[in-house]
Amino acid sequence: MKAVMTEDEMFQAKDDEKASSDSISDSPVFDFINSLSPIATPKPLGSAQSVQLFKSSDLVPASSIFTSPQVNPQKEYKPRTRYGYAQLSQGLSPIYQRNQIGISSCIELSGSPTIASENCSPSEYATILPSKWPQPIPLGSEILGDANKQDTDGKADHSQDVGHVKLSSTCYDQNGIDQLDSSTSGRNVQENELTKQYNDDLAACSLNHLISRSGTGNAVMSKSDLSLEAQQLSWKLRSDVIFSKLFMPMDQGNLEDSRRKLFDGSTGCYIQSAADDSHVYYAGAAEGVATNHDPKMLPSVIQSQLVSNEYFFDTFKIPSDVMALSEHQCGGMYRRSLFNEKVRTSDLSGQSSSNLHHANICGDNYMKPPRSPVYALPGIGLHLNAVASNASNNKPFTINPPLPPELNSPTTIVSCSETVAVRRKLQNGDGGSCRRCSCKKSKCLKLYCACFAAKVYCSGLCSCQGLNNHTHEETVSCIRKRTESRNPLAFAPTVTRACDSGSDFGDDSNNTPASTRHKRGCNCRKSSCLKKYCECFQSGVGCSMSCRCESCKNSFGKRKGVLLLATEKMDKGAKAKGTRSKEEKLAFHKQDVVSQSGDLTSTEDLFATPSLEPCRSSILLPSTCSEPPVSTVGCSSQLHNSQSPMKADVLFSPSETCAMEPILVDGSSNIQEVSSSCTTRVKVVSPNKKRVSSLQTGTGLSPIGRSCRKLVLKSIPSFPSLTDDADSEPH
DNA sequence: GAGTTTGAAACT
DNA sequence: CAGTTTCAAACTC
């Protein structure tokens, strides 16, 4: 009883909060925002209902639904907060806070309240609570076939027998499984075994099924609808920071030149936006450096992210009346017009790509029309991997595994021709977003299957023999749930932003907004993280502390490896002892000495020693690197360039971070990092391998300072532990 | 296109 | 948790 009262108190507080928001809803600002929803939602019903999201009065008090004393709404909301809703709401507007409330409440409501309250045991409530759902509702995947679709669709199908333990769904009873099997022409022993195995999941699925069996679907928004609407708003609210980060404050005199380089696809620039922020990787390095990165040499993922001139030239033309941007605005204070967003997305949803209008991020036409139909589509928020893996393979556009809202970046590189199709696919729930898997034994029901892992259904484009399709969507749903129950990160994005973390990179507390890291880390051995076997490499990100790779040579950034840790330990030990053994000194010195020839091979060899391997600086000489783009340019490159007669390699000593990444710093706030990154124990060695100088490469020396490119190296915090992540609240 | 290699996923 | 097996993609020829 006490718990119930406590719960009531909480809901009372919630009601108060809603009441407070009601006053907000009367404000012109709210009306304005509310009128902006430009993206045509896949389901008209969802759109209509989404409006109700903002009407707190429409929200059924959660207390009327969940009476279980075990429910702790605050706790249950936490994961959602973790995924960024709260973060967004804190920083942006009370409107989104309202939305957040709506999301939380309505998602819980998506199951029939009657069912939830009458037919579920207290323990079952937890299953229905949003936190128990695999993850925040993504834009694409749900619509593209996530079995949560059944939450809405299933309402009609399963509107009967509510409360029965045994349900008629194929997913939840043995008969259904049998039917499933019989429906599969290629039924065999293995499949039977598979079925048997999956039966274990049926019980767990049944609870979720209760949600889908809501018989009162009229007043309840589906999760898809909710999420879509929420994300639309999210993107709208967040999108205006995208290009302000893309275009860092630059010296006006060099602005255009910098931009030209920035968006010159031929030089290997690409934008990555796997995370909350737009990521600009300028593979071309700083000016004067012959990086010569052939886009073809990029991993397919990255190739697809190449941003051509056309991209910006064509896609960011906007009506001047709605978006008059000046150079000044580009300099750092640009904020995209929500109106323009509306126009653009409306065009997107309804018309051909030729009608696309995109925010002219800089208002001028410094970029000439090019060839590649690749462009970024702010506002869609698809995961970069989704785009990447497809563009490179000429595959149909795929939606990546759903991302938490904070990871759904508004900026995504999407091929122009694909965009409209994608919209359409979202609306149709079409399975055309498959990954063209070739699974056989896994039946596309394990993470081996790229489609399954991406939470999309296989399609005719796949050469698989799996069951991951609409026909077996409920089974797929069950398996997904089971998979996720085993590994909560099973469907997590492989790449996520590093600023989620900050914990495991030791002293580097500078979260790099533009950096990404592989979520789980690779375990490469033979590939040295230089082939697509390596997920990090494939995703175009550097390895992090989360990785357990050996001989990491990931050109996107090596992890802070064993040596670094060892040497740090060694240093500490030496300090403690007051001396260091000759062997240690020798080994340590070995790292400092770099051939003047700039022969990377020799450098590689130098660090080929297993004991040394992981810590080699991520800096690779562009001129000698035949591998995919070196993401770490900037400082080192500047050094290299400025010391061109010497062609000296630059290594960071072990005390320096090994995971470096070029970023475009956002204004003066990060200027300090330029110098700090470039001055720390950088050693240049003469041809005769004598140390000739210890460069102090401040902004004055570096072309960075001259060009004001603001392309700098920055230490990349690697990924946080999941625990930390889960426990930490966004700031 | 077949065979091999690779590393993640799954299993024990 | 570690070792092994399975699996499908990446890679090589």
Q: What is the DSSP string of A215-260?
A: S-GGG---HHHHHHHHHHHHHHHHHTTHHHHHS----HHHHHHHHH
- The pLDDT score that the predictor gives to residue A76 is 35
Q: Which residue has the higher pLDDT, A455 or A324?
A: A455
pLDDT above 70 (res A532) = yes
pLDDT average, residue stretch A502-522: 44
Q: Which residues of A402-429 are buried (b: 16+ CB within 10 A; e: fewer)?
A: bbbbbbbbbbbbbbbebbbbbbebbeeb
CA distance A546 to A1: 45
Which range, A189-203, A206-220, A529-543, A582-596, is most confident? A529-543
Q: Which of A's residues 409-448 have CB atoms within 7 A of nucleic strand C? A: 435, 437-443, 446, 448
**Protein A463 CA to nucleic acid B5 C1', in Å?**
22
pLDDT above 60 (res A544) = yes
- The pLDDT score that the predictor gives to residue A85 is 35
pLDDT tens, residue by residue, A94-130: 333 333 333 333 333 333 333 333 333 333 333 333 3
pLDDT average, residue stretch A306-311: 34
Share of chain A above pLDDT 90, in %: 0
Q: Which residue has the higher pLDDT, A339 or A502?
A: A502
- In SS3 terms, A508-566 reads as CCCCCCCCEEECCCCCCCCCCCCCCCCHHHHHCCCCCCCCCCCCCCCCCCCCCCHHHHH
Using alpha carbons only, what angle is made at residue A315 by residues A313 and A321, rounded to the nearest 5 degrees? 95
Share of chain A above pLDDT 70, in %: 13
pLDDT average, residue stretch A144-171: 36
DSSP code, position A316? T
CA distance A270 to A275: 15
pLDDT above 50 (res A677) = no
User: What SS3 state is found at A18?
Assistant: helix
- The pLDDT score that the predictor gives to residue A28 is 59
**Protein A532 CA to nucleic acid B1 C1', in Å?**
21
Closest CA to A534 of A297, A632, A525: A525
Q: Is the CB of A532 under 7 A from strand C?
A: yes
pLDDT average, residue stretch A388-410: 35
Q: Is the CB of A395 under 7 A from strand C?
A: no
Predicted confidence band at A46 (pLDDT cuts at 50, 70, 90)? very low
Nucleotide at minimal C1' distance from the A446 CA: B9
Question: Hey, what amino acid is at A454?
Answer: A
Look up residue A327 and give its two tokens: 């150079």
- The pLDDT score that the predictor gives to residue A647 is 32
- The pLDDT score that the predictor gives to residue A523 is 85
- The pLDDT score that the predictor gives to residue A458 is 87
**Protein A58 CA to nucleic acid B1 C1', in Å?**
61
Task: Tell me the pairing of strands A495-497 and A660-664.
Answer: unpaired
Instruction: Please provide the average confidence, as pLDDT, over all residues in chain A.
Output: 43
pLDDT average, residue stretch A383-392: 37
Q: What are phi and psi of A450, to 5 degrees?
A: -65, -35
Which range, A272-281, A409-418, A444-453, A508-517, is most confident? A444-453
Q: Which of A's residues 533-592 have CB atoms within 7 A of nucleic strand C? A: 533, 538
- The pLDDT score that the predictor gives to residue A35 is 58
- The pLDDT score that the predictor gives to residue A556 is 84
User: What SS3 state is found at A165?
Assistant: coil
pLDDT above 60 (res A618) = no
Predicted confidence band at A527 (pLDDT cuts at 50, 70, 90)? confident
Instruction: Count CA atoms within 13 Å of residue A481 on its CB side.
Output: 27
**Protein A56 CA to nucleic acid B4 C1', in Å?**
61
- The pLDDT score that the predictor gives to residue A522 is 85
Residue pair A201/A478 in contact by the 8 Å Cβ criterion: yes
Q: Is the CB of A525 under 7 A from strand C?
A: no
Nucleotide at minimal C1' distance from the A438 CA: C8
Closest CA to A315 of A424, A425, A415: A415
Predicted confidence band at A591 (pLDDT cuts at 50, 70, 90)? very low
- The pLDDT score that the predictor gives to residue A455 is 85
Q: Which residue has the higher pLDDT, A72 or A313?
A: A72
Q: Is the CB of A320 under 7 A from strand C?
A: no
**Protein A523 CA to nucleic acid C2 C1', in Å?**
15
pLDDT tens, residue by residue, A11-39: 344 444 444 444 444 555 656 555 554 44
- The pLDDT score that the predictor gives to residue A541 is 81
CA distance A450 to A436: 8
Report how far apart the first and last C-alpha atoms of chain A are (Å, whole number).
36
Burial class (CB in 10 A: 0-12, 13-18, 19+), A118: exposed
**Protein A135 CA to nucleic acid C1 C1', in Å?**
27
CA distance A67 to A331: 54
Residues with CB under 7 A from strand B: A 197, 446-448, 453, 483, 486-487, 490, 520, 522-528, 531, 533-535
Beta-bridge partner residues of A106: none
pLDDT tens, residue by residue, A637-673: 333 333 333 333 333 333 333 333 333 333 333 333 3
pLDDT above 80 (res A451) = yes
Distances (CA, A) of A118 to A69, A91, A611: 14, 39, 63
Q: Is the CB of A531 under 7 A from strand C?
A: yes
Q: Which nucleotides of C are covered by protein (CB under 7 A)?
A: 6-11
